[in-house]
Amino acid sequence: MEKLSKLLQYSTLEDQFYWRAPGFYGADVDFEIVWRGRDTLKPWRYRTCAVDRMWHTSTIAQAENDMAEYGIDVSYLEQRVTETILQQVSFAATIVADARQHFGDDAIDDAIAANEAFLRELESATKRILRGNTLKIVK
C-alpha cells in the first residue's frame, strides 16, 4: 500500500479520495478512509462506522494496522485504491488526447519534454541539497 500511496501523491489529478471498506468475515465494522495527499504529512484519515466515529489522521501503514485490528480486509482497500489510480490514468490520457487535438502533437511533445527536463533539474538540485553540495552565492 505504501507504493500505491506514493502513486496517489505524485500521479493523480485529484486532491482527495474516499473509500469505504466492509468488515471482513462478517465483522460488524465498516471502515471509511480518506486520502488528502497534498495538504498534510499524514495524508490518510480513517474512522470506523460502528465503533468510533472520530476521524483519525495517519500514515497508510498505521491505517492498515488499525484496519487489521478491526477485522477489515486490507486487500479490499488496496484493490479500490488501485482502481482509483487507474481511473486517474484514464482521465490523464483523455486530457492529453484532447490537448493534442487542440494544440497539435508537436506542442504537447515539447511541453512534456520541457516538464520532464525541469523535473530532472529539480531532482538533481534536491539531491545536491540533501548531500550538502549546494551552490554558494558569491557577491
Q: pLDDT at position 129, please?
A: 85
In a domain, 110, yes or no: no
In a domain, 132, yes or no: no
Cβ–Cβ under 8 Å, residues 21 and 33: yes
Determine the residue type at 55: W
Domain that holds residue 43: 2-97
In a domain, 135, yes or no: no
Q: What is the pLDDT along the chain (139 residues), one digit of tens a residue?
A: 888 888 888 878 888 899 988 765 555 667 889 998 766 778 899 888 766 778 888 888 998 898 888 778 888 889 999 999 999 999 999 999 999 999 999 999 999 999 999 888 988 888 888 887 555 555 5
Q: pLDDT at position 70, please?
A: 79
In the structure grid, which three cell numbers stand for residue 119, read together? Answer: 523535473
Phi-psi region at 103: left, alpha or beta (left = phi > 0; alpha = psi -120 to 50): alpha
In a domain, 57, yes or no: yes
Rounded to an integer, what distance in angstroms lies between the CA atom of residue 74 and that of residue 23? 10
Q: pLDDT at position 71, please?
A: 78
Phi-psi region at 27: left, alpha or beta (left = phi > 0; alpha = psi -120 to 50): beta
In a domain, 108, yes or no: no
In a domain, 33, yes or no: yes
Q: pLDDT at position 26, please?
A: 57
The structural domain count of the chain equals 1
Taking 3-state DSSP, the helix, strand and coil percentages for the chain, each rounded to the nearest 5, stand at: 60, 15, 25
Q: pLDDT at position 79, please?
A: 93
Rounded to an integer, what distance in angstroms lies between the CA atom of residue 94 and that of residue 100? 10
In a domain, 133, yes or no: no
Closest to 64 in 3D by CA, of 39, 38, 33, 41:
33
In a domain, 22, yes or no: yes
DSSP 30-89: -EEEEEETTS-SS-EEEEESSS--S-EEE-HHHHHHHHHHTTB-HHHHHHHHHHHHHHHH
Q: pLDDT at position 39, please?
A: 64
